Amino acid sequence: MNLEKIIFGFFIILACTLNFGFFIGDIARPELHDSISLFAAVVVNMIATVLKFGDRTHIGATHLATSLVAVIQLLAASTVWIWVVHFQNQPMTAHSTSVVVSLSGGALLANLISVILLIGETLRQSR
């Protein structure tokens, strides 16, 4: 077993599942989307991105690209949330929640692509 690959796979899958946990639920109901879940998804996605910097293969570059997309979209979602709640001093409405959840949905898609790449790479190496 390669500990580096275990840690890498762990963070990729954790990033995807945390993002999914935030994303799931009615898009217009703010109470179903917790800011702590979004924060955890951002942090774990950033860790996963940092872990991808050392790989110089083509698949590593694709992993890094998907991770960067996820981080940018999650940071955008967090920025919208912070802007509405802390700068405008308003509660999250159905509209602002839908913007945040939609951005996290894009990040979720990037995370899913990363997980699919991980599975494909794992299957290819076992042959």
For the whole prediction, is pTM greater than 0.85?
yes
Q: Where are the domains of the chain?
A: 3-125
Residue 44 near residue 15 (C-beta atoms within 8 A): yes
Residue 70 near residue 44 (C-beta atoms within 8 A): no
Q: Kindly report, residue by residue over 68-110, the tens digit of the pLDDT.
A: 999 999 999 999 999 999 999 999 999 999 999 999 999 999 9
By residue count, the chain amounts to 127
Q: Kindly report, residue by residue over 29-76, the tens digit of the pLDDT.
A: 889 999 999 999 999 999 999 988 877 888 889 999 999 999 999 999
